[in-house]
Structure 1
């Protein structure tokens, strides 16, 4: 079995290519169950965010994960092959550590990815897809991330996606305090956006969510009101700013709906941010004259602010990651030796028990204890030395190499 990572992210593929490969949390469970139960992989975890979909696996071959992904998503391999990356062994571990530390994120050093990786690990564990190797990999990644964030300036001066959305809105409107805000969804990204926009004290904040109770819980924290997701259609025209991030697999805001809203607004501009993958807002909405629509990829230039001041910290972070990768493989190699160690101990224990039983029988019949102990020690010594001595006497191949190996194993010193 080999450890590897197969993935696609914002650096290798545009949003349109990433969308069909995204998994929402509940779908992750079904996907992992399929991946493991059908024997595609021995261990697996899937990390799916707005910027990436990655499979961390222990399986026979990386092509197995690619074949499963295309089969499960019913996508032609040729359509996604140019955008995929595969990292084997050491590269896979290094990549996981870089992702957890925020070095591979669109927003360099952003902390949100760490929580998303913890969710991916938790779901994999709950579905029985997480074994010893991947559990150790993720736990090590979390430890590396903590070390990187506490000892370097990688997290300094971060411009988050939520902050970038506010900056863009301020380019469209003279004052956010005069605008009405609609937040669609109630997940972590919407919560972050709510905090950033609320700081600008908009005229009104409304949270729309499929589950009203969850929407109300979020709304109460920011002095907002909550509505059901199905009410958005009749109320969309009221809002100047719309931020959406749901787990819907299909767009929830269509072109016709926005066209009607713009007519009702008498063509006053509407600023929309679609942070969902797959997208919540139909692509064609961005072509309307009075709509300013931005996706996660569109925010990339804005989040570059403050990047220079964090680049120096990347060197320190990479050094930490390099050392931790070495430590992980030391553990992995030790673990691979466990069956041999166990077999060696079992063999020695069988010899010990056999000779002990023999010695007890001699003592029971009245033999002198000192002579029994001497014989016991000699028999044990002879049996333990028999395999290496036989190898030296009759071994084939490079005898010099065999002698050096035995000298090392038994800590022998030749004068």
Structure 2
């Protein structure tokens, strides 16, 4: 079985290109169906899509990387050759290593951040719900989660980590003398906005507002933060009220345009506006950044801020890489054992078939005895004894047949197989 991963991330592709390959969770099922049917042999598949990366994981008897790249290019409406320059392809042990590093936060823009693990788990659930996740990828991801947990509990990889939300607050503090005097608007009510809103709320701004497509979800967040909720449709008329705006929605098109911001600045008499666009694709038109009194930051613009503290975590990174190495070796050993060439899978199949035959034979005997009116407990006792005798017969025969020189070795093997607690 071959495993491969193809992706693009914050290190290989600019923000606007990544935005063309953003998949919301409700798009996963049709996307996975299209991905699998585009291959000659429908592989196991999963798609991880975040603001910093889109990665396609596949497993099949034969590697079909060209088909995967072709599908992804069509999904983003980008020529294959152009996309190829911004993607990376990893196979087998390298694909496993990459998945383990991503889950552990070692491949994130924010080194050691924990949010990616939850995003990966959501991607796996979506693949499972779509019927695209098979035994191999399930093993890969479950082992990724186990490795990530071990990295979190055994190292200080998350220590000194500065999140995107914390970085946004830090930048806002550089612009405004006192964050307690500003009014903050959050557009969206998802996980990223909730995290950012929590960080800003800790600085006790003068006012907080949540603008969301569905008022119910916005109201929940607003009530927790002591803020108000508003409709997205009201944004153009109310932008001027806010000194800071943080946006992260799943919209495929910008929801705050240049014209709306220009009108807001005019009403504010050009008092500055601090804006953070955490969405991929963008929520705010990029031309807004050119306005004199607007300080617009995207997820990529925050990169330098979140790099702070990397040097303090290098020892933890080394420890994490050692844990990942062990996880990769274990996964590849599991893959090798399942290879037909290893002989293990056919043997397992034969053992299962033999056990089923024994079980069927004992059930036939038991049913005949029950039909004759024999006591149920006596029949069950006979069934269990018959199965036990059949299972142990081979071991007893090997022990009796072994010559004196091999008897101890044979006894040790039988003990390992049958005397485990």
Q: Give the Cα–Cα distance (whole angstroms) in 1 for the partners of residues 273 and 355 of structure 2.
A: 77
1:45 is matched with: 46
2:146 is matched with: 143
Q: Give the Cα–Cα distance (whole angstroms) in 1 for the partners of residues 190 and 117 of structure 2.
A: 16
Alignment partner for residue 200 of structure 1, among 199, 203, 209?
203
What does 1:6-405 correspond to in 2, within 5 Å?
A: 6-39=6-39, 41-59=42-60, 60=62, 61-337=64-340, 338-342=344-348, 344-345=350-351
Q: What's the secondary structure of 1:181's corresponding residue?
A: strand
Against the structure 1 CA distance between its residues 146 and 351, is the aligned structure 2 distance closer, same or farther, given a 3 Å change threshold?
closer
Q: Give the Cα–Cα distance (whole angstroms) in 2 for the partners of residues 347 and 54 of structure 1.
A: 39
Q: Give the Cα–Cα distance (whole angstroms) in 2 for the partners of residues 121 and 248 of structure 1.
A: 22
- Over the aligned positions, Cα root-mean-square deviation in angstroms equals 2.1
| CA displacement at 1:37 relative to structure 2 | 4.1
Q: Is the 8 A contact 2:21 2:75 kept in 1?
A: no
| CA displacement at 1:33 relative to structure 2 | 2.1
For 1:88-145, what per-residue CA distance to the aligned partner results, in whole angstroms no more than 9, with x for missing partners? 0000000000000000000000000000000000100111111111111111000000
Higher mean C-alpha deviation, range 69-78 or range 270-279? 69-78
Q: What's the secondary structure of 1:158's corresponding residue?
A: coil
Q: Give the Cα–Cα distance (whole angstroms) in 2 for the partners of residues 13 and 292 of structure 1.
A: 23
TM-score by length of 2: 0.81
Q: Is the 8 A contact 2:47 2:123 kept in 1?
A: yes
TM-score by length of 1: 0.82
Higher mean C-alpha deviation, range 207-216 or range 307-316? 307-316
Against the structure 1 CA distance between its residues 251 and 344, is the aligned structure 2 distance closer, same or farther, given a 3 Å change threshold?
same
Against the structure 1 CA distance between its residues 351 and 115, is the aligned structure 2 distance closer, same or farther, given a 3 Å change threshold?
closer
Q: What's the secondary structure of 1:107's corresponding residue?
A: coil
| CA displacement at 1:25 relative to structure 2 | 1.6
Count of residue pairs brought into register by the alignment = 356
For 1:329-369, what per-residue CA distance to the aligned partner results, in whole angstroms no more than 9, with x for missing partners? 1112222345421455489789999xxxxxxxxxxxxxxxx
Q: What's the secondary structure of 1:21's corresponding residue?
A: coil
Structure with the greater alpha carbon radius of gyration: 1
For 1:38-62, what per-residue CA distance to the aligned partner results, in whole angstroms no more than 9, with x for missing partners? 5464211100000000001114321
- Structure 1: gaps of 5 or more residues: 354-380, 382-410
1:406 is matched with: none
- Structure 2: gaps of 5 or more residues: 360-393, 395-412, 414-421
For 1:270-317, what per-residue CA distance to the aligned partner results, in whole angstroms no more than 9, with x for missing partners? 000000000100010000000000000000000011111111111110
